[in-house]
């Protein structure tokens, strides 16, 4: 495979095109992933998530800088939302990262969610593999601005960073589940603003109440503060601390043999996705193409039948093992 | 399966901070169903070419209101060609006098949009002339 060789040698054009073909759902691109998948496993994948405007892109930019100082090559996958009405998207994360545009050790690729709900795009998993095979030491994945439940990022990352900013809610928000439970590292960004100490206390209290099992091999998520990006000295210092903490987390995973559980989680999710893609999608598109899907919806509107009966009928038709 | 989307990069080369037009256009392209990568102001031609390749766009739309289009637009087109990405369409817009059109077309630009161009007209041009690659 000529193109796999090119990707292995780090060819940006070939890699970006393959990512695009995967986004567009082309069968040929999926077939190519069969050759990419066995070559993966080199990169440290770091997920960065948090609410819109929390400063994720700016932190990613700063992290790229600090990893480059340590001579590590970096891939960035930045996800922004697709408009549910027009299908278009404005991908603006790159604005904060353009100073690395000419550095051959950095590859930044923007992706639109295209209807995916978990805070990422469907092609992100494959795009991570591609950057991995290109030889990137670090792959940073920036989610869309998230709320409380967009937790897909844990399925793809070895290290998850949750970025919070002061003034986003009281402690009731902190004891809720979801996004706060997935953090390996908390970052309080814009920490010069009022309320950052209170936010820190709230996260501490939340962590104090968590069962010991929430901290694999004793890793209690550290809470870092990050100074205003417009104060370069403090900001750079904050980022160096952050990249060191990320490195420590990875060492912790390696030392306590926890990397396997993360890889397992990702593999299980990928299998799930692939089955959905190979089994469910063709059934749905066949039903849509011959108009049956629409007829079933009409039947449901008239209450002639129910969704459960219809689904069972479809299962009997398409699955050999269905009862 | 799936759908091939048009990917557009909107870029502002050089020392020009007037980005209202570029932002309005980005929004229009989004509403037309394109995926738009916007890279902000003050970009060098090198940054723009490199970003266009990393993002695998079909077309780069350059906006320049400073008068430096005679240098900046051809520079982007040349860099793309040199880096094996001559198939990425380059178009430009801004305050561009008619006597400069030939120089820009000769440099490889496929369209130039000047004051008076309508948003619908620009989007139509893109829909007609830009085909997402396979």
The domain spanning residue B122 has which CATH number? 3.40.50.280
Q: What is the span of the domain harbouring residue B88?
A: 7-127
Look-up of token digits 């004891």: A175
Q: Give the CATH number for residue A70.
A: 3.40.50.300
Residue A17 lies in a domain: no
Residue A11 lies in a domain: no
Give the domain-ending residue among A218, A235, A258: A258
Q: How far is CA A95 from CA A90, B19, B29, B39, in A?
A: 11, 13, 18, 4
User: Which pLDDT value is given to residue B13?
Assistant: 95
Within this chain, do residues A206 and A279 fall inside the same structural domain, yes or no? Answer: no
Check CB contact under 8 Å for B29 and A19. Answer: no
CA–CA distance, B83 with A188 (Å, rounded to integer): 41
The answer to whether residues B76 and B92 touch, using CB atoms and an 8 Å cutoff, is no
Check CB contact under 8 Å for B46 and A17. Answer: no
CA–CA distance, B62 with B74 (Å, rounded to integer): 11
Domain total of chain B: 1
Residue B110 lies in a domain: yes
Within this chain, do residues A73 and A220 fall inside the same structural domain, yes or no? Answer: yes
Backbone angles phi, psi at A160, to 5 degrees: -110, 125
> Hey, how many other C-beta atoms are within 10 angstroms of the C-beta on B48?
25
Check CB contact under 8 Å for A86 and B39. Answer: no
Check CB contact under 8 Å for B36 and A86. Answer: no
Check CB contact under 8 Å for A89 and B30. Answer: yes
Look-up of token digits 């994720």: A56
Within this chain, do residues A141 and A283 fall inside the same structural domain, yes or no? Answer: no
The answer to whether residues A143 and A150 touch, using CB atoms and an 8 Å cutoff, is yes
Within this chain, do residues A52 and A79 fall inside the same structural domain, yes or no? Answer: yes
Check CB contact under 8 Å for B1 and A285. Answer: yes
Backbone angles phi, psi at B96, to 5 degrees: -125, 115
Q: Beta strand pairing status for A106-112 and A74-80?
A: parallel
Within this chain, do residues A171 and A293 fall inside the same structural domain, yes or no? Answer: no
User: Which pLDDT value is given to residue A150?
Assistant: 78
Check CB contact under 8 Å for A12 and B39. Answer: no
User: Which pLDDT value is given to residue A276?
Assistant: 86
Question: Which residue in A has a C-alpha nearest to residue B1's C-alpha?
Answer: A25
Coil, strand, or helix at residue A114?
Answer: coil
User: Which pLDDT value is given to residue B91?
Assistant: 97
Query: In this structure, what token pair is assigned to residue A218?
Result: 């004793």
Look-up of token digits 């550095």: A103
CA–CA distance, A160 with A101 (Å, rounded to integer): 25
Check CB contact under 8 Å for B54 and A92. Answer: no
| B53 contacts on A by Cβ (under 8 Å) | 12-13, 16
Which DSSP category does A152 fall into?
G
Within this chain, do residues A305 and A226 fall inside the same structural domain, yes or no? Answer: no
- Does any CB of chain B come closer than 8 Å to the CB of residue A45? no
User: Which pLDDT value is given to residue B134?
Assistant: 56
Residues of chain A under the 70 pLDDT cut: 169-177, 322-323
Domain total of chain A: 2
Residue A3 lies in a domain: no
Give the domain-ending residue among A225, A258, A291: A258
Within this chain, do residues A171 and A277 fall inside the same structural domain, yes or no? Answer: no
Check CB contact under 8 Å for A13 and B56. Answer: yes
Within this chain, do residues A161 and A281 fall inside the same structural domain, yes or no? Answer: no
Residue B35 lies in a domain: yes
Q: What does chain A come to in residues?
A: 323
Residue B90 lies in a domain: yes
Residue A32 lies in a domain: no
- Does any CB of chain B come closer than 8 Å to the CB of residue A25? yes
Residue B132 lies in a domain: no
| B5 contacts on A by Cβ (under 8 Å) | 23-24, 87
Q: What is the span of the domain harbouring residue A305?
A: 271-318
| Cα A83 from chain centre | 19
Interface probe for B, chosen from A29, A78, A98, A115 (most Cβ of B below 10 Å), is A98
Backbone angles phi, psi at B11, to 5 degrees: -135, 145
Residue B133 lies in a domain: no
| B4 contacts on A by Cβ (under 8 Å) | 24
User: Which pLDDT value is given to residue B72?
Assistant: 96
Name the residue facing A94 among B2, B26, B51 (closest C-beta).
B51
Residue A128 lies in a domain: yes
User: Which pLDDT value is given to residue A176?
Assistant: 67
Within this chain, do residues A128 and A154 fall inside the same structural domain, yes or no? Answer: yes
Interface probe for A, chosen from B4, B11, B55, B75 (most Cβ of A below 10 Å), is B55
Within this chain, do residues A159 and A210 fall inside the same structural domain, yes or no? Answer: yes
Residue B49 lies in a domain: yes
User: Which pLDDT value is given to residue B120?
Assistant: 95
Name the residue facing B32 among A21, A26, A88 (closest C-beta).
A88
As a three-state string, the secondary structure of B82-133 is: HCCCCCCEEEEEECCCHHHHHHHHHCCCCEEECCCCCHHHHHHHHHHHCCCC
- Is pLDDT of B1 > 50? no
Coil, strand, or helix at residue A166?
Answer: coil
Look-up of token digits 């380059």: B90
Query: In this structure, what token pair is assigned to residue A56?
Result: 């994720």
- Does any CB of chain B come closer than 8 Å to the CB of residue A6? no
- Does any CB of chain B come closer than 8 Å to the CB of residue A115? no
Within this chain, do residues A278 and A254 fall inside the same structural domain, yes or no? Answer: no
Within this chain, do residues A188 and A165 fall inside the same structural domain, yes or no? Answer: yes
């Amino acid at each position: 495979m000529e193109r796999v060789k090119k990707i292995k040698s780090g060819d940006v054009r070939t890699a970006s095109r393959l990512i695009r073909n995967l986004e567009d759902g082309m069968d040929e691109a999926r077939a190519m992933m069969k050759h990419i998948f066995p070559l993966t496993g080199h990169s440290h994948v770091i997920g960065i998530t948090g609410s819109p405007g929390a400063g994720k892109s700016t932190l990613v930019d700063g992290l790229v800088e600090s990893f480059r100082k340590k001579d590590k090559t970096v891939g960035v996958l930045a996800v922004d939302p697709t408009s549910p009405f027009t299908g278009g998207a404005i991908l603006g994360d790159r604005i904060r990262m353009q100073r690395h545009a000419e550095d051959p050790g950095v590859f930044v690729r923007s992706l639109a969610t295209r209807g995916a709900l978990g805070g990422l795009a469907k092609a992100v998993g494959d795009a991570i593999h591609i950057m991995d095979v290109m030889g990137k030491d670090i792959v940073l994945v920036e989610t869309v601005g998230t709320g409380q439940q967009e937790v897909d990022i844990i399925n793809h990352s070895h290290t998850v960073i949750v970025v919070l900013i002061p003034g986003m809610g009281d402690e009731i928000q902190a004891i809720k589940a979801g996004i706060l439970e997935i953090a390996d590292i908390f970052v309080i960004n814009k920490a010069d603003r009022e309320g950052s100490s209170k936010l820190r206390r709230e996260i501490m209290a939340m962590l104090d109440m968590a069962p010991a099992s929430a901290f694999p091999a004793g890793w209690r998520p550290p809470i870092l503060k990050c100074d205003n990006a417009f104060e370069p000295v403090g900001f750079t210092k904050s980022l160096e601390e952050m990249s060191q903490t990320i490195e420590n987390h990875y060492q912790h995973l390696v030392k306590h043999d926890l990397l396997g559980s993360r890889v397992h989680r990702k593999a299980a999710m990928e299998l799930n996705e692939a089955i959905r893609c190979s089994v469910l999608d063709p059934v749905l598109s066949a039903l849509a193409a011959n108009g049956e899907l629409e007829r079933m919806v009409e039947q449901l509107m008239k209450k002639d039948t129910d969704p459960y009966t219809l689904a069972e009928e479809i299962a009997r038709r398409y699955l050999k093992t269905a009862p | 399966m799936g759908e091939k989307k048009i990917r557009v990069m909107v870029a502002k080369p050089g020392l020009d901070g007037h980005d209202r037009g570029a932002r309005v256009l980005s929004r229009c392209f989004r509403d037309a169903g394109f995926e738009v990568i916007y890279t902000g102001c003050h970009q060098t031609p090198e940054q723009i070419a490199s970003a266009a390749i990393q993002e695998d766009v079909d077309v780069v739309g350059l906006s320049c209101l400073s008068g430096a289009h005679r240098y900046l637009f051809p520079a982007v087109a040349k860099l793309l060609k040199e880096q094996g990405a001559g198939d990425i369409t380059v178009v430009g817009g801004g305050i561009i006098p008619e006597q400069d059109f030939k120089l820009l077309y000769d440099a490889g630009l496929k369209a130039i949009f000047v004051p008076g161009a309508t948003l619908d007209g620009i989007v139509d041009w893109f829909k007609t002339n830009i085909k997402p690659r396979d």
